[in-house]
Structure 1
């Protein structure tokens, strides 16, 4: 359970009650994680935790529980669970790249090279050991380049290292073979071209954590959260030392072990702070273009797995996207997380994650308070609903007509409490469960 708290915060409709669902006056939930999500669930009005094998309406589980239990669990119409069955098609590093490459190839064949080029947002990547020879060919084309090796199914910076020389990989392969000779499971890795020119602030590298909520793949329905954060390294960036993990890896789990890490200051900027900084330095138009390019990454990556994800009306997924900016302000997709950490690193971080999770539950709408036509719920903006969702910017004129842009507000003001009060205000024909 988190040491951070938000006091007196109840997520409920203004009429203060939950209508009965099938004769029950509460939502029965199960939660397998001890983090901020547990706090959020406990604060929901008329939500009751069930233990062990008790019947539940809502389950926030880890992927291990999903793998072992999903196929053996009967779910009634109203039941919801926080992962799609094969979520790993997007969140496992090798499969993400495989699906993106296939999607890009199909676009080029069906629509043309110009459209396929819009998928040029992930670094050159090879799956190992299966694509080792292809990797070596590419490696030899650009001697001296830096590559990064990552295990496909690990997080928090575990097992990652950078290298310039092929002999480092050959030695690594021998070590891995020795370690795994008695194991039936061979751990897969990806080798990825390292972004050698990252955008720096105060000489330090950072990446972005952005939250995307998918409530359906068929049709695709995706929401983008306004808040997020930038994660900074604690050491000034240099290519002269590729062995310094505190310089090159921005994972909080890595940075908080740095000798000079200050837990009071942390290593994060809120997304709004970063957007203000970049806008002040580069101008509004440039940064709006940057954020539109990130919108493209979110949608294209989801479309790349749309046909392979097993869509299930009981499922939703809260993805944590990791985006890196290079010095030309080009965004790169580094990876997508199926279980983005909800463990807070500060009181501010706890507040942001608490609001994110609270609004996730508001969108999933176990209480049945929404109409299904909403374009905004709390801090979430609907960016795709079987097609692009647009917002109308009446202040902009193009050839005498209104200018329409995507309904995304990443890094903009998040006046969620005001919006939720308006959204959930009681009215005579309030939708019942």
Structure 2
């Protein structure tokens, strides 16, 4: 059980008894959120919710709890929480880019420029104000280009704006019409990033991809890719003539649902399978396979870039939400990585997707001890990296050559998770067959 280091309370069951089967399916949990994850936890057979002061085996905590309590909480061997201690090395926009740049330099030094070029999947980015002079030099090389400013630690599109002129930054700082809260945002660090001016459009609208990656360990690195995900569309046709219109340029659902003509019934998402079918019909399966291998490369390289700086802890796992943008040449760009991807559903379809995702996350975390540890697939998750690339049995490695980083991935493919789980897991006591 987990308890505060200052208390001596013990739970009613020892972990050893649980491993022997006496209370194997009884998992006491805490949950800081009130959305889909709470529903999934409450519906899991044998799991019992505990109050704030109760001892727990599993905690779906928020970032605030982690920051305030991690160093003061004693955790027994079996306890699990849903964040690594310094997850922000990948999920803060400035630190993500810093780590990627460092990793690229290391690859160039140790393996050559060709290998380093495989990290060229994020736009030119500078942290402000610390890299302001470097940014100005780059800005002047391409006058008239569009840049985007983002606060490094905010989400849901808050504080973001586009600009074409250096004076726009100064004007924004000095704009007395903004609220005190908006002016205070400048106390934070920002990143200035080259805006992707030629995004891939569908029906004239911009979109990005939300993809889920689960890391169960950083030492060794063990990462899983979920088959389902979605494309998030803007509600307004794309144009660079008005860079102040958030409904054109920001695909965040939190932004789009405030549009005057937003239709909550229709929403602004495509399931990943729908997007993959669309791209195959337009560009052919070979081009789409190449695209999705490049996306795999983004996942692995980004995780490797922080592998040595993340504080690995056997109690921790992380469900990341990756945001990927495609340009008109079908090149994928990493926009950001979220440590707390939204688990609030925007539709019934979205709720079902996130429920499946979270159920399968809990299967992999495996509080009940039902897995062998040798699985290459659990529900909708496919193991893509396990201290090295994981390949499908039907893959011809010689044919792949150096073109593919990982092969055991099925992003946007059929997710027959129920069938797979029936074969993999025996029902828990009191659980209906899947």
Q: Distance in 1 between matches of 2:341 and 2:179?
A: 32
Instruction: Report the equivalent of 2:104.
Output: 104
**Aligned residue runs from structure 1 range 234-273, under 5 A:** 234-273=235-274
1:293 paired residue number: 294
Q: CA RMSD in A?
A: 2.4
Relative distance call for 1:420 and 1:196 in structure 2 (3 A) is same
Q: How does 1:20-419 map to 2 (within 5 A)?
A: 20-21=18-19, 24-25=23-24, 26-174=26-174, 186-393=187-394, 398=399, 406-419=407-420
User: CA shift at 1:186, angstroms?
Assistant: 2.6
CA–CA distance in 2 between the matches of 1:381 and 1:24?
29
Task: Single out whichever of 198-207 and 134-143 deviates more from structure 2.
Answer: 134-143
Whole-angstrom CA distance in 1 between matches of 2:427 and 2:179: 65
The 2-side partners of 1:395 and 1:371 are apart by 27
Asked if the contact 1:227/1:270 (under 8 Å) is kept, the reply is yes
CA drift at 1:24: 3.5
Quick check: 2:212–2:321 contact (8 Å CA) kept in 1?
Answer: yes
Deviation at 1:206, TM superposition (A): 0.1
Q: CA separation in 2, counterparts of 1:120 and 1:158?
A: 27
- Distance in 2, Cα, partners of 1:289 & 1:145: 29
The structural deviation recorded for 1:37 is 0.1
Partners in 2 of 1:136 and 1:404 — Cα distance? Answer: 35
Q: Distance in 1 between matches of 2:186 and 2:136?
A: 24
Query: What SS does the aligned partner of 1:391 have?
Result: coil
Per-residue CA deviation, residues 132-186 of structure 1 (Å, 9 max, x unaligned), is 1111111111100000000000000000000001110122234599969x98993
Unaligned runs of 5+ in 2: 1-16, 429-434
Deviations 1:356-396 (A, max 9, x none): 00000000000000000000000000000000000132699
Residues of 1 paired with 2:396 and 2:357: CA distance? 30
Aligned residues: 406
Cα contact 2:395–2:407 (8 A) shared by 1: no
The 3-state SS of whatever aligns with 2:305 is helix
Residues 173 and 134 from structure 1, CA distance in 2 versus in 1: closer, same or farther, beyond 3 angstroms?
Answer: farther
Aligned residues of 2:384 and 2:406 also touching (Cα < 8 A): no
Cα contact 2:29–2:58 (8 A) shared by 1: yes
- Taking the aligned partners of 1:324 and 1:420, their CA distance within structure 2 comes to 32
Give 1:293 shift.
0.1
Q: Is the CA contact 2:196–2:327 (under 8 Å) kept in the aligned structure 1?
A: yes
CA change 1:71–1:328 in 2 (3 A) is same
8 Å CA contact 1:122, 1:334 repeated in 2: yes
Does the CA-based 8 Å contact 1:90-1:305 persist in structure 2? yes
**Deviations 1:333-352 (CA, angstroms, capped at 9, x unpaired):** 00000000000000000000
- Contact between 2:297 and 2:406, CA under 8 Å: does it hold in 1? no
Is the 8 Å Cα contact of residues 391 and 404 (structure 1) preserved in structure 2? no
Does the CA contact (< 8 Å) of 1:391 and 1:405 recur in 2? no
Tell me how far apart the structure 1 counterparts of residues 56 and 350 of structure 2 sit (CA, whole Å): 30
Match in the other structure for 1:8: none
Note the alpha carbon deviations across 1:68-110, whole angstroms, 9 max, x for none. 0000000000000000000000000000000000000011011
* C-alpha contact 2:173 2:186 (8 A) present in aligned 1: no
Q: Flag the 1:24–1:397 CA change in 2: closer, same or farther, 3 A.
A: closer
Return the alpha-carbon distance in structure 2 between the equivalents of residues 132 and 184 of structure 1. 17
CA contact (8 A) 2:297 2:405 kept: no
Which runs of 5 or more structure 1 residues have no equivalent in the other structure? 1-18, 428-433
Q: What is the CA–CA distance in structure 1 between the aligned matches of 2:185 and 2:142, rounded to whole Å? A: 35
Deviation at 1:53, TM superposition (A): 1.1
Q: 1:323 touches 1:331 (CA, 8 Å); kept in 2?
A: yes
Measured in 1, the distance between the counterparts of 2:185 and 2:196 equals: 34
Moved over 3 A (4+): 19-25, 173-180, 182-185, 394-399
Counterpart-to-counterpart distance in 2, 1:204 and 1:39: 34
Change (3 A) 1:398 1:302: closer
Change (3 A) 1:398 1:306: closer
CA separation of 1:190/1:375 partners in 2, compared to 1, >3 Å: closer, same or farther? Answer: same
**CA distance in 1 between partners of 2:256 and 2:184 (Å):** 32
